[in-house]
Amino acid sequence: MKFNPRARLDTSQIRDRRGRRSTGGLSGGTGLSRGMPMGVGGGIGGLVLVVIAFVVFGGGLGGDTAAEDIPNNTDLAAQCQTGEDANTSQDCALVATVNSVQSYWSSALPEESGTDYQISQTEFFSGATTTDGCGNASSAVGPFYCPVDDTIYIDTTFFDDMLEAQLGAEGGTFAEAYVLAHEYGHHVQDLLGTMSQVRTQQGPQSDSVRLELQADCYAGMWARHATTAPDASGEPFIVELTSDDISRAIDAAHAVGDDRIQQSGGGDVIREQWTHGSAQQREDWFLAGYEQGTLAACDTFSAATV
């Protein structure tokens, strides 16, 4: 994966709270958790149940939290200015990926659905953070999307500590890009009203699994078009993706399959408890988006089986 040295990065789409103290515990949202089913709709590992509960049934996802100052992005803005910075810094690569994903959906969503895309914030945190709409979040949650405040939350230690070290993924820049693109897939679902379709929360054909697999498919859509998504001046953020990059994204999708997570924890594979889909399901739907590149190809809710 190679970023365009001429592309200008927009750090205003990122809120960096790493190193700031935050009260609190676990939380909710829809995300990619660290493999522990605990939420609703969205991530790689398992925040689906909580988020679905929030979106469908209403209610909060966490307890009271202490106020936290919102930091400025001075350091990130100074560090991450161009695609060349993204080629040498993990933080800047994440910024460039966020910019690319949002640039893609800003044109693709209205073109395909007639729905305007709305820019969403991504928050970097470490240890724990306080969300504006989904309560507290700890590192145990993993990456997730909160539909209440339209924000993607990323504990940046997830990639090394969990995705690679504990779940055994190969990792790499495009594996991390897949994670971000999946979470932004949930933002697209939120804009399209798809989250309101979630009724059943567990099982290989459940609505929560269909929601997660659709987010994988949306990540594949972006991957197909990633080298064309431009910055404000028309320069593409990404100029090269290789077959190895796509393989690493697929490998990451495999690593966060419900069956793989159950096995990595030393337990049996219990299909009735799945909330995000099996390793094979996640690969298949990422590839559906990558190979076909349309919203229609990602309609997991109309498919007889996923």
Grouped pLDDT means (10 residues each) for the chain, 306 residues: 98 91 46 35 41 33 40 80 98 98 98 98 93 89 93 93 88 96 98 95 97 98 98 98 97 95 90 96 98 97 96
Model-level pTM?
Answer: 0.87
pLDDT at 139: 81
Number of alpha carbons in the 13 Å side-chain half-sphere of residue 191: 21
DSSP code for 253: H
- Helices 279-292 and 207-225, packing angle to 10 deg: 40
Q: Which two tokens stand for residue 136?
A: 């507290």
* Cβ pair 133, 127 in contact under 8 A: no
Could you read off the pLDDT of 5-44 as tens digits, one per residue? Answer: 999 999 999 999 997 655 444 344 455 433 322 223 344 4
For position 30, what pLDDT does the model report?
Answer: 52
**Cα 22 from Cα 4, distance rounded (Å):** 36
Nearest residue to 277 (alpha-carbon basis) of 203, 215, 199, 219:
203
Q: What is the CA radius of gyration of the chain?
A: 17
* pLDDT confidence of residue 64: 39
Domain parsing of the chain, residue ranges: 2-298
Cα dihedral 10, 12, 14, 16 in deg (nearest 10): 120
Which residues have C-beta within 8 Å of that of residue 17, sequence separation ≥ 6?
68, 70, 71, 123, 124, 125, 129
What digits encode the pLDDT tens for the residues 179-225?
Answer: 999 999 999 999 999 999 999 999 999 999 999 999 999 999 999 99
